[in-house]
């Protein structure tokens, strides 16, 4: 028969079948059945079992109550949903009442130890429809709640770009829907299917209006975006199910359009390493790692948002430039701001936990300390000339009522009250009834404190001790050697190895008085503390506005510090199509050079219709010469300018850019069945379809994933389209040096190259300088040598390259062997070297003779009754590749050679084609015999 405790567990578990149920049993949280197996595997804890009625032995794995948060965090980070089932009833006879108090998922975490400190933790919802797709996002740790929407023409690029920018930890989608119109970054987030009614438009509208206490959503800017409302409503429904307390954080909804900012698609964000280095997978090697000199956690999160949302409004940008410049020019002012910010912690998340009622006393006291810094920060801002800085000053609110309330009500952690020698949560004098209770036990505590000295004197036992523990309460401890001296009024309470513990009637009376009062004190303090949190949360909007303003000040100070330490200059922005960078530097590469000098380069693009204006730069040059670095450098300088940052250059004049497109690098998409070339073409097509005259396009190696002629043709067609139709500012790097001839046909295209030099030993030196002109070689063999390619391969590659570049490789064919295997004549035809005129030096009896002008007799080849068929007229690749192999083959053919001559050849050093040639000669000799 199933035990009552087991039935209680199964009943609760049946309500949360998709979650791991953490079931409180005393001082442990236990998991059972399949949950236990998962927990043991993922958390590396012991899997055991226990007998449980008819169910036999039930799998069991548990974690201590005090360590629950850490273990739950690991499960959530691995994509599991965890339901916390707490004991909510009185512990006594019978089954303790239990209930699920919260459900934790990747997107609903608010516990500080489980969250990344310097970035947001977003939960998003996607609501697709034919006419519109909505996207909503919330960070429950800060209360940020935002929505946007996309027209069909913007998909999938705009949605994927926004998901890349937000980097959500969890995404809600309609259950059973399989949309092929966009891709989710499932590797970095949990995808959670939800019932379709979560996304119902009318129900979502009702949920939002009820939550905000309004009749209409017009004030939130999304009334005409039904799918945005549906996505936001789905998040509300999900939070109601997971943790309804989180809804208290949501006091408003902000609508925005991605088109109000510079568009950075997902590929561009990755290619430019904005938030994450492509090699490290962390912030190391990213633009963020160069810029992030923020001091506060909320400042760091604001910097990430600023970096991925460059502005298009010239007036807003000028405000930022003025603020950064004022801070840039005054070291003393920067120092004073830094001192203020260093005294501030994560106000944003602390205020959020206060609103939820989950903040611990230390955090609330810390919030009071932070608020006392705000007047000084406000004073500094009001003393500035920059308009934006003075605006931010007016957004700061010290909330004196909050400072006063916390100061009067809460004692500092780990401080003892003089009256009771114990730690107090609530300050003396704040609550009269509580003070009376604490005073009532003061006499008993003082009596117990003096008891040890009194009893030592009365009994003569100098080693006698008076102590307390949570299990046995107060006691008098006597060692075994002095038990004969114990008075008759001592009552035995506990036996130890080395002694006994006793209690007296008078001690028992005082203990009862203290424990009863202590229980009432703890209950009263919890109630008072919860009331303090409720009173503080009344100022939630003002506190969050203050935290947001502090974050923006932190970002402006950060940009000024970077400009000072990295030697950046203020760019000049304008409403034009020009781009002029003098002495530009790559911010990330320069930052990582560790003392080495970065070689600066100029860039000039003129998008206006001038006769000789350069709109497209066609960049040629060797591998490893710095083409990709130069391309990315221009894009990053542009982006930095449009977030309001100073830039790494000597001078910059920039016409505002609406989008930055990058087609850089090579990667396939195996999961979607797409080759590297297919991915490259899709990305290029996206650029062609969405770029405007105001865009900046970075193209690196278009057409390299297919045959030479196909790639060259595609590259040329793309350049022509960008020049004649799109008219966008473009940098196009290529190894197709044949494209350089386009400069004579396209007036707004100019060819540049990365300069090189030969040193005294004949080695190539990359100068990393951009200059007009074209270098007709890529120096790939030299780069292979630098990469550590074995010397034999390098030497062989140089031989082959010299041979190919000489243009003397003979006319030849690729062969498909005939069914009956008679291939000797055809092989000889293919393998025989040609003379200088390209005619085959072949046996006069061969069926395959060169024609009068050196061409193969293709008709004879195709009509041959046996042997091989000619399938192409490309030049033969079957000529001898080394003189050593040719010499041995000649000896074998002259009858004076022996097969033992092969012993003199290093077979590992010759090419497979030479080995095939030798095999043919040996076979021919044997057939003659």
pLDDT for residue 829 is more than 70: no
Cα 307 versus chain centre, distance: 14
User: Residues 778, 623: contact at Cβ < 8 Å?
Assistant: yes
What CATH number matches the domain at 292-399+539-566, 1.10.1040.10, 1.10.1420.10, 3.30.450.20, 3.30.565.10? Answer: 1.10.1420.10
Within 8 A by CB and 6+ apart from 846, the residues are 825, 828, 829
pLDDT of 914 reads 76
pLDDT tens sequence across 179-225: 656 677 666 788 999 999 999 999 999 999 999 999 999 999 998 89
For CATH 3.40.1170.10, the residue range(s) in the chain are 4-104
pLDDT tens readout for residues 438-488? 888 888 888 988 999 999 999 999 999 999 987 788 999 999 999 999 999
Measured CA to CA, the distance from residue 437 to residue 367 in angstroms comes to: 29
What six digits make up the tokens of 236? Answer: 């509300």
Strands 651-655 and 764-772: unpaired
**Parts of the chain belonging to CATH 1.10.1420.10:** 292-399+539-566, 432-535
pLDDT by residue (tens digit) across 115-141?
888 999 999 999 999 899 999 999 999
Helix (H) or strand (E) holding 193: strand 190-194
Inform me whether the pLDDT recorded for 787 exceeds 50.
Answer: yes
Q: Exposed/middle/buried for 631, CB within 10 Å: 0-12, 13-18, 19+?
A: buried
Averaged over 95-122, what is the pLDDT?
Answer: 90
- What's the whole-number mean pLDDT along residues 610-634? 87
Kindly list the distances between the CA atom of residue 17 and the CA atoms of 9, 35, 81, 264, in Å, as whole numbers in the listed order: 12, 10, 10, 40
Task: Report the distance separating Cα 601 and Cα 149, nearest Å.
Answer: 40
SS3 189: coil
63 has which bridge partners? 29
Q: Which tens digit of pLDDT belongs to each residue from 832-875?
A: 444 443 343 434 333 334 333 333 443 443 344 333 333 233 33
- Backbone dihedral angles phi then psi of residue 466, each to the nearest 5 degrees: -110, 125
* 162-176 pLDDT tens trace: 999 999 999 999 988
On whether the CB atoms of residues 733 and 701 are closer than 8 A, the answer is: yes
Count the Cβ atoms, other than its own, within 10 Å of residue 315: 7
Two structure tokens written together for 5 = 């405790």
Residue in 862, 805, 804 with CA at minimum distance from that of residue 829: 862
* Alpha-carbon distances, residue 602 vs 634, 656, 823 (angstroms): 9, 18, 60
Q: Is the pLDDT of residue 527 over 50?
A: yes
Mean pLDDT of 75-93: 87
Does 372 or 739 have the greater pLDDT score? 372
User: What one-character DSSP code corresponds to residue 423?
Assistant: B
Q: Residue 611 — pLDDT band, cuts 50, 70, 90?
A: low
- Tell me the DSSP string of 270-304: HHTTSSS-TTTSSSTTSHHHHH----SHHHHHHHH
Query: Are the CB atoms for 351 and 545 separated by under 8 Å?
Result: no
Band of pLDDT at residue 889, cut at 50, 70 and 90: confident
Q: Of 321-335, 369-383, 506-520, 793-807, give the lowest mean pLDDT range.
A: 793-807
Q: Which residues pair with 541 in a beta bridge?
A: none
- Report the DSSP beta bridge partners of residue 856: 850
294 is written with which tokens? 């923020």
Residue with tokens 């097509």: 685
pLDDT at 804: 77
Length of the chain: 929
What is the spatial distance between Cα 175 and Cα 262, in angstroms, rounded to a whole number?
33
Closest by Cα among 736, 735, 771, 748 to 630: 771
601-606 sheet: strands from edge to edge:
572-574, 651-655, 578-584, 601-606
d(CA 8, CA 450): 49
569 band by pLDDT with thresholds 50, 70 and 90: very high
pLDDT band of 413, cuts 50, 70, 90? low
Please, which pLDDT band fits residue 810 given cuts at 50, 70 and 90? very low
- 577-784 CATH pick, 1.10.10.10, 3.30.428.10, 3.40.1030.10, 3.40.50.300: 3.40.50.300
283-294 pLDDT, tens digit per residue, is: 899 999 999 999
| Mean pLDDT calculated for residue range 794-805 | 82
- Between CA 305 and CA 910 the distance in angstroms is 58
Query: CA 210 to CA 93: how far, in whole Å?
Result: 43
| Cis previous bond, 156, omega within 30 | yes
Q: Given a cut of 50, is residue 665 above it in pLDDT?
A: yes
Kind and range of the H or E element at 341?
helix 331-342
Distance separating alpha carbons of residues 683 and 708, to the nearest angstrom:
20
Model pLDDT, residue 593: 86
Asked if pLDDT for residue 331 goes beyond 80, the answer is yes
Q: Taking a C-beta distance cutoff of 8 angstroms, is the pair 67, 151 a contact?
A: no
Q: How many CA atoms lie within 13 A of 784 on its CB side?
A: 14
pLDDT at 274 over 90: yes
Q: For residue 24, what pLDDT band results from cuts at 50, 70 and 90?
A: very high
Per-residue pLDDT averaged across 739-765, rounded? Answer: 84
Both tokens of 603, joined, read 């860039």
pLDDT for res 880: 67
Closest alpha carbon to 827 in 816, 839, 838, 837: 816
Residue 785 has pLDDT above 50, yes or no: yes
Cβ atoms of residues 327 and 557 within 8 Å: yes
> Distance between CA atoms of 67 and 813, rounded to whole angstroms?
73
Secondary structure E strands in 656-728: 659-663, 696-700
CATH top-level class for 115-260? Answer: alpha beta
Query: 533 pLDDT exceeds 70?
Result: yes
- Give pLDDT, residue 898: 61
Say whether pLDDT at 316 is over 80: yes
Q: Supply φ then ψ for residue 134, to 5 degrees.
A: -100, 150
Per-residue confidence band for 777, with pLDDT thresholds at 50, 70 and 90: confident
Structure tokens at 813: 């064919």
Which CATH architecture does the domain made up of 4-104 adopt?
Answer: 3-Layer(aba) Sandwich (3.40)
pLDDT-based confidence at residue 645 (cuts at 50, 70, 90): very high
pLDDT at 680: 85
pLDDT at 900: 63
Which residues are CB-neighbours of 731 under 8 A, at least 6 positions away? 603, 605, 616, 617, 619, 630, 631, 634, 697, 698, 699
The C-alpha atoms of residue 445 and residue 447 are separated, in whole angstroms, by 5
DSSP 694: T
User: What CA–CA distance (Å, rounded) separates 793 from 791?
Assistant: 5
Long-range contacts of 448-456 (CB under 8 A, 24+ apart): 448/474, 448/507, 448/510, 448/511, 448/514, 449/421, 451/476, 451/507
Residues 105, 106, 112: CA angle, nearest 5 degrees: 100
The architecture (CATH level 2) of 432-535 comes to Orthogonal Bundle (1.10)
Alpha helices in 111-253, H assignment, sequence order:
157-166, 201-212, 226-242
What contacts 463, CB < 8 A, 6 or more positions away?
Answer: 478, 479, 482
pLDDT score of 110: 86
| pLDDT above 90: residue 416 | no
Residue-level pLDDT at 825: 43
21: left (phi over 0), alpha (psi -120 to 50) or beta: beta
Q: Please tell me the distance from the alpha carbon of residue 540 to that of residue 214, in angstroms, as a whole number.
A: 19
d(CA 264, CA 261): 9
What pLDDT band is residue 902 in, cutting at 50, 70 and 90? low
Token pair for 833: 């070297």
Of 391, 373, 374, nearest to 382 by C-alpha is: 391
Mean pLDDT value across the chain: 85
Report phi then psi at 337, rounded to 5. Answer: -65, -45
- At 408, the pLDDT band (50, 70, 90 cuts) reads very high
From the list 706, 707, 659, 701, the residue with the least C-alpha distance to 684 is: 701
Which pTM was predicted? 0.80
Q: Quote the pLDDT of residue 710.
A: 86
Is 235 within 8 Å of 126 (Cβ atoms)? Answer: no
Query: Are the C-beta atoms of residues 42 and 80 closer than 8 Å to each other?
Result: yes
Residues of the chain with CATH 3.30.420.110: 115-260
């Amino acid at each position: 028969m199933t035990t009552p405790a087991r039935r209680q567990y199964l009943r609760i578990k049946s309500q949360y079948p998709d979650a791991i149920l953490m079931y409180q049993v005393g001082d442990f949280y236990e998991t059972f059945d399949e949950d236990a197996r998962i927990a043991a595997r993922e958390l590396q804890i012991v899997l055991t079992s226990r007998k449980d009625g008819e169910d036999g032995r039930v799998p069991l794995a548990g974690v201590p109550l005090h360590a629950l948060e850490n273990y739950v965090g690991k499960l959530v980070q691995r994509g599991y949903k965890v339901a916390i089932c707490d004991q909510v009833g009185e512990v006594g006879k019978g089954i303790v009442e239990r209930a699920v108090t919260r459900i934790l998922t990747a997107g609903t975490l608010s516990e500080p130890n489980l969250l990344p400190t310097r970035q947001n933790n977003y939960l998003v919802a996607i609501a697709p429809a034919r006419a519109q797709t909505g996207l909503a996002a919330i960070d429950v740790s800060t209360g940020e709640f935002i929505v946007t929407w996309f027209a069909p023409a913007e998909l999938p690029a705009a949605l994927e770009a926004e998901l890349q920018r937000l980097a959500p930890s969890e995404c809600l989608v309609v259950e059973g829907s399989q949309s092929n119109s966009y891709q989710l970054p499932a590797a970095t987030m949990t995808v959670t299917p939800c019932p379709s009614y979560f996304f119902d438009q009318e129900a979502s509208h009702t949920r939002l209006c009820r939550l905000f206490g309004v009749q209409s959503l017009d004030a939130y800017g999304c009334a005409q975006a039904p799918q945005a409302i549906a996505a936001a409503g789905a998040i509300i429904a999900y939070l109601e199910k997971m943790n309804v307390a989180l809804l208290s954080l949501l006091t408003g909804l902000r609508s925005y359009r991605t088109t109000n900012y510079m568009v950075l698609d997902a590929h561009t964000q990755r290619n430019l390493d904005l938030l994450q280095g492509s090699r490290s997978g962390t912030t190391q090697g990213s633009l963020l790692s160069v810029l992030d000199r923020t001091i506060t956690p909320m400042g760091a999160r604001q910097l990430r948002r600023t970096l991925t949302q460059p502005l298009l409004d010239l007036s807003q940008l000028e405000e930022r430039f003025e603020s950064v410049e004022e801070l840039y020019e005054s070291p003393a002012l920067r120092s004073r701001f830094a001192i203020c910010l260093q005294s501030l912690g994560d106000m944003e998340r602390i205020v959020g936990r206060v609103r939820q009622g989950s903040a611990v006393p230390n955090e609330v006291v810390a919030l009071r300390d932070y608020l006392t810094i705000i007047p000084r920060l406000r004073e500094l801002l009001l003393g500035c000339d920059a308009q934006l800085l003075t605006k931010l000053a007016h957004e700061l609110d010290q909330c004196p009522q909050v400072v006063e309330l916390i100061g009067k009500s809460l004692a500092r952690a780990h401080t003892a009250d003089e009256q009771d020698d114990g730690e107090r949560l609530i300050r003396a004098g704040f609550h009269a009834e509580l003070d009376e209770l604490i005073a009532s036990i003061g006499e008993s505590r003082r009596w117990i404190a003096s008891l040890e000295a009194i009893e030592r004197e009365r009994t003569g036992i100098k080693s006698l001790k008076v102590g307390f523990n949570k299990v046995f309460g107060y006691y008098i401890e006597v060692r075994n050697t002095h038990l004969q001296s114990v008075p008759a009024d001592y009552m035995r309470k506990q036996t130890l190895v080395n002694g006994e513990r006793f209690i007296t009637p008078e001690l028992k009376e005082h203990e009862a008085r203290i424990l009863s009062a202590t229980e009432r004190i703890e209950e009263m303090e919890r109630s008072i503390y919860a009331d303090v949190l409720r009173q503080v949360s009344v100022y939630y909007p003002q506190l969050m506005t203050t935290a947001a303003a502090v974050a923006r000040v932190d970002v402006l100070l950060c940009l000024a510090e970077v400009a000072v330490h990295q030697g950046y200059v203020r760019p000049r922005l304008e409403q034009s199509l020009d781009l002029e960078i003098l002495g530009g530097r790559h911010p990330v590469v320069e930052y990582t050079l560790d003392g080495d000098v970065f070689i600066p380069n100029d860039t000039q693009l003129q998008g206006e219709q001038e006769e000789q204006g350069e709109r497209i730069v066609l960049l040629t040059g060797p591998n490893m010469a710095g083409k990709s670095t130069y391309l990315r450098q221009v894009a990053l300088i542009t982006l930095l300018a449009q977030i309001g940052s100073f830039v790494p250059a000597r001078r910059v004049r920039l016409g505002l850019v609406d989008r930055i497109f990058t087609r850089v690098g090579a990667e396939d998409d195996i999961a979607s069945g797409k080759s590297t070339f297919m991915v490259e073409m899709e990305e290029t097509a996206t650029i062609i379809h969405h770029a405007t005259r105001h865009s900046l396009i970075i193209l690196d190696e278009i057409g390299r994933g297919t045959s030479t002629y196909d790639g060259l043709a595609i590259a040329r067609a793309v350049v022509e389209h960008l020049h004649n139709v799109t008219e966008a500012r473009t940098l196009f790097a290529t190894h197709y040096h044949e494209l350089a001839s386009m400069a004579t046909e396209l007036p707004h295209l100019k060819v540049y190259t990365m300069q090189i030099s030969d040193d005294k030993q004949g080695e190539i030196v990359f100068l990393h300088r951009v200059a007009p002109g074209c270098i007709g070689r890529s120096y790939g063999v030299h780069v292979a040598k630098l990469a550590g390619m074995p010397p034999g391969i390098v030497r062989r590659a140089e031989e082959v390259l010299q041979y190919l570049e000489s243009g003397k490789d003979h006319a030849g064919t690729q062969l498909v062997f005939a069914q009956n295997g008679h291939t000797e004549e055809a092989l000889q035809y293919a393998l025989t070297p040609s003379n200088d005129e390209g005619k085959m030096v072949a046996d006069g009896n061969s069926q395959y003779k060169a024609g009068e002008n050196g061409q193969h007799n293709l008709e004879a080849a195709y009509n041959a009754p046996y042997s091989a068929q000619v399938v192409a007229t490309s030049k033969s690749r079957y000529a001898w590749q080394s003189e050593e192999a040719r010499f041995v083959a000649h000896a074998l053919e002259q009858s004076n050679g022996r097969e033992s001559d092969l012993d003199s050849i290093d077979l590992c050093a010759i090419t497979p084609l030479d080995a095939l040639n030798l095999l043919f000669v040996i076979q021919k000799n044997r057939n003659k015999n």
